[in-house]
């Protein structure tokens, strides 16, 4: 990520020096924090006040250019900062007090760390003299966040404050972006010092993000590409973060290489592009996973071979050579050993490759992929309402997958969607096709339930010109639904779609497949979400049939101020297909049956029902004890019973 975002510097206004002269002026630490935020181009701070950060909150009153958003929980503040950052690439800022304020930020910080999102968290700390004494609301937040920040600081003197603030933003937004925390004791906020914003370039001896790749490695990569017959590009989050979207498309087009996307890679290239295959991995397209397993060359760009995209590493893309480009050297050879590892900025590296890559025919390869895709299309469940439906679709039931597909249609695929975590998130990934970078915001690495609503608020405040939908499950929504009040207070026009199945659906799906349908602690007794939202003054609609979706979505979109909420009451026991069980081979997927297979199974079940009493289930011991080392065969049989 470039430093360009910092170029949006506003003119810092000095409250004690109206003429804004360049001379040093005396400011408090709290005022210096505000000045530094302005210099970094910050316009919004998400936070929650408290004792140890009060001097900074007081200073904020002198800086009306810094709009403070009062969240209802500090976790909301860190997720909002994250959503803000992901929607634009600008650094998001969260602020909290010491102790519980700081610890409440932690989930949001870990979320940002896993997905390389640039945020800066500013926390108050007890006065320097009290540190280590277990003072009221003291916690070692730099210690707590050590493994979940890119870097963090405990500021022990006002003299280092301006430099620390500048470094924090620099580190957060450059290289592989990530969260940086600055912990500022209360006395440092109160102290006064001469303030001159440092202008010399930041030089950190131990920090210099790589740029261009070594020529020898580029040559080695080109050679592998030239020799390949079944190449595939794996595009991750790094593409959009590096702004290398055009280069990706050019490389794919020039060399005729199909592209598979990671979850966070969605938006790296338009999903309508003929070379884009769609999402890979646990709930990726079957044809995409087959293509990866059968490829003879993987070109991994800005992705990190997460276990959710590789499945069993021992059998992962066994016959392929591998090229891995990433800005973080520690990702190379971490999970998957590669033939050519290239460390550099993706834009630069792709340009280096583009110069010399050759056009090559891959027709036979595309034909194979097309065959796999044709099979997938047979099994597809979401079809236009007027088309003949897959026989597995239960009559008169609303499916979560249909809701997402219709939302895609009725928003013309143009919204920024922000999801929570679970089944709805995977349906979003499968059925909402994104064209533009930064248009899907989702917690991929950490899988943070409760992320959706606050991140959507942050995204909308970051991109007020864009239509923003928060697509959440009934479980995750209830983890952070107190932020409805924030959305109302700030009049944030975010459209909330609850995919409400009364279950922790994804966990239920695992219980169905791998724990013999023991639905322990997954059914939920929910409030009436419409009444709840109405208590906040939010307009709401409940949808229970597919035919109601269009009107509800249009009604939501017609509201241009403040939040809206749609409660989509969907089929309770729907399954996300395909599914690679955790630890299974990537092409060992649980599939939805084709219509023909489904009919055959239905006849088989009808015959079985008429047959004499079968032996009692108790008489046959279970073949394996339920565990995460799943039984794909048994699960496939289950999957055919629950045909949706």
Partner 1 sequence: MAKHILAALVENRPGVLARVANLFRRRSFNIDSLSVGRTQRDEMSRMTIVMESDSAEADRLVKNLYKLVDVVHVDHLHSQPSVVREMALVKVKASSENRREVIQLCDIFRARIIDVSAESLVVEITGEEEKLENFTELVRPFGIVEMVRTGMIALGRGGHTLKDEGFKPNRSRAAARSNVL
Looking up tokens 């293509």 gives: 291
565 Cβ partners below 8 Å, 6+ apart? 495, 496, 498, 529, 530, 533, 538, 539, 540, 541
Look at residue 280 and give its three-state secondary structure: coil
531 and 539 Cβ atoms separated by less than 8 Å: no
Q: Cβ 24 to partner 1, closest distance in Å?
A: 13
Q: Is the CB of 160 or the CB of 371 nearer to partner 1?
A: 160
Residues 152 to 211 in contact with partner 1, rule: CB under 8 A? 154, 156-157, 159-160, 163, 171, 203-207
Question: Does residue 538 bind partner 1 (CB under 8 A)?
Answer: no
Look at residue 506 and give its three-state secondary structure: helix
Interatomic CA distance for residues 38 and 32, integer angstroms: 10
Q: Cβ 340 to partner 1, closest distance in Å?
A: 16
Q: Cβ 368 to partner 1, closest distance in Å?
A: 34
Cα–chain center distance at 26 = 42
Q: Is the CB of 91 or the CB of 453 nearer to partner 1?
A: 91
Q: Which two tokens stand for residue 54?
A: 């009060």
Interatomic CA distance for residues 60 and 37, integer angstroms: 11
Question: Does residue 151 bind partner 1 (CB under 8 A)?
Answer: yes
Q: Cβ 143 to partner 1, closest distance in Å?
A: 7
Alpha helices in 327-483 (DSSP H): 346-356, 363-378, 400-410, 423-431, 452-462, 474-480
336 and 324 Cβ atoms separated by less than 8 Å: yes
Q: Is the CB of 127 or the CB of 329 nearer to partner 1?
A: 329
Q: Cβ 330 to partner 1, closest distance in Å?
A: 4
- Here's the x/- map for partner 1, 207-236, by CB under 8 A: it reads as x-----------------------------
Known catalytic residues are: 74, 136-137, 186, 506
Q: Is the CB of 203 or the CB of 615 nearer to partner 1?
A: 203
Q: Which two tokens stand for residue 532?
A: 């709840």
Instruction: Give the DSSP per-residue string, 147-191.
Output: GGSSEEEE---GGGHHHHHHHHHHHHHSSS---EEEEEEHHHHH-
Q: Cβ 129 to partner 1, closest distance in Å?
A: 16
Q: Is the CB of 160 or the CB of 223 nearer to partner 1?
A: 160
Q: Is the CB of 343 or the CB of 393 nearer to partner 1?
A: 343
Residues 312 to 331 in contact with partner 1, rule: CB under 8 A? 328-330
Look at residue 49 and give its three-state secondary structure: coil
- Among 115-123, 148-156, 225-233, 268-276, the segment contacting partner 1 (CB under 8 A): 148-156
Instruction: Using CB under 8 A, count the residues that bind partner 1.
Output: 24
Alpha helices in 15-73 (DSSP H): 29-39, 54-60
248 and 268 Cβ atoms separated by less than 8 Å: yes
Q: Is the CB of 142 or the CB of 601 nearer to partner 1?
A: 142
59 Cβ partners below 8 Å, 6+ apart? 28, 30, 31, 33, 34, 189
Q: Which of 20, 129, 143, 464 binds partner 1 (CB under 8 A)?
A: 143
Q: Cβ 351 to partner 1, closest distance in Å?
A: 25
Q: Which of 147, 388, 396, 612 binds partner 1 (CB under 8 A)?
A: 147
Footprint of partner 1 on this chain (CB under 8 A)? 142-143, 146-147, 150-151, 154, 156-157, 159-160, 163, 171, 203-207, 328-330, 332-334
């Amino acid at each position: 990520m470039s430093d360009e975002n910092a170029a949006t510097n506003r003119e810092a206004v000095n409250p004690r020096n109206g003429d804004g002269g360049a001379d040093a002026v005396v400011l408090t630490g709290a005022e210096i924090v505000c000045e530094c935020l302005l210099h970094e181009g910050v316009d919004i701070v998400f936070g929650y006040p408290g004792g140890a950060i009060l001097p900074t909150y007081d200073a904020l009153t002198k800086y009306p250019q810094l709009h403070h958003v009062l969240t209802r929980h500090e976790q909301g503040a860190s997720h909002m900062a994250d959503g803000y950052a992901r929607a634009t690439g600008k650094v998001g800022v969260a602020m909290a007090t010491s102790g519980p304020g700081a610890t409440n930020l932690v989930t949001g910080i870990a979320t940002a760390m896993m997905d390389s999102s640039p945020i800066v968290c500013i926390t108050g700390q007890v006065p320097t003299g009290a540190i280590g004494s277990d003072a009221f609301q003291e916690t070692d937040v730099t210690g707590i966040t050590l493994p979940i920040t890119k870097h963090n600081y405990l500021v022990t003197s006002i003299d280092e404050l301006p430099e620390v603030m500048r470094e924090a933003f620099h580190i957060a937004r450059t290289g592989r972006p990530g969260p940086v925390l600055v912990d500022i004791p209360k006395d440092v906020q109160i102290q006064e010092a001469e303030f001159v914003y440092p202008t010399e370039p930041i030089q950190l001896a131990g920090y210099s993000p790589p740029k261009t790749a070594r020529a020898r490695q580029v040559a080695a990569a080109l050679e592998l590409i030239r020799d390949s017959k079944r190449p595939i590009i794996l595009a991750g989050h790094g593409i959009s973060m590096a702004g290398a979207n055009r280069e990706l498309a050019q490389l794919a087009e020039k060399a005729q290489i199909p592209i598979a996307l990671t979850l966070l890679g969605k938006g790296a290239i338009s999903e309508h592009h003929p070379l884009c295959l769609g999402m890979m991995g646990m709930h990726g397209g079957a044809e995409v996973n087959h293509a990866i397993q059968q490829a003879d060359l993987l070109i991994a760009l800005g992705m990190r071979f997460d276990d959710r995209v590789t499945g069993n590493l021992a059998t992962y893309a066994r016959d392929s050579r591998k090229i891995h480009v990433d800005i973080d050297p520690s990702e190379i050879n971490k999970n998957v050993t590669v033939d050519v590892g290239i460390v550099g900025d993706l834009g630069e590296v792709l340009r280096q490759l583009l110069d010399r890559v050759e056009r090559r025919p891959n027709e036979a390869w595309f034909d194979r992929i097309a065959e796999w895709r044709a099979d997938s299309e047979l099994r597809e469940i979401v079809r236009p309402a007027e088309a003949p439906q897959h026989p597995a679709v239960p009559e008169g039931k609303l499916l979560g997958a249909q809701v997402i597909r219709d939302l895609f249609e009725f928003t013309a695929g143009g919204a920024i969607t922000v999801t929570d975590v679970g089944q709805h998130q995977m349906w979003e990934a499968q059925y909402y096709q994104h064209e533009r970078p930064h248009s899907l915001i989702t917690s991929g690495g950490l899988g943070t339930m409760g992320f959706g609503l606050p991140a959507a608020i942050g995204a909308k405040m970051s991109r007020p010109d864009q239509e923003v939908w928060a697509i959440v499950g009934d479980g995750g929504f209830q983890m952070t639904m107190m932020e409805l009040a924030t959305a109302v207070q700030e009049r944030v026009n975010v459209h909330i779609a609850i995919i409400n199945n009364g279950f922790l659906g994804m966990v239920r799906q695992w219980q169905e497949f791998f724990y013999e349908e023991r639905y322990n602690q997954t059914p939920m007794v929910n409030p009436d979400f419409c009444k709840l939202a109405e208590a906040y003054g939010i307009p709401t609609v409940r949808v229970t049939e597919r035919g109601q979706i269009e009107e509800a979505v249009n009604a939501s979109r017609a509201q241009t101020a403040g939040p809206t909420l749609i409660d989509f009451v969907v089929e309770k026991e729907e399954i996300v297909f395909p599914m690679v069980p955790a630890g299974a081979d990537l092409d060992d997927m649980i599939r939805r049956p084709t219509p023909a297979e489904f009919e055959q199974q239905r006849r088989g079940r009808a015959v079985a029902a008429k047959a004499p009493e079968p032996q009692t289930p108790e008489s046959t011991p279970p073949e394996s004890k339920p565990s995460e080392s799943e039984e794909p065969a048994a699960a496939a049989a289950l999957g055919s019973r629950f045909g949706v």
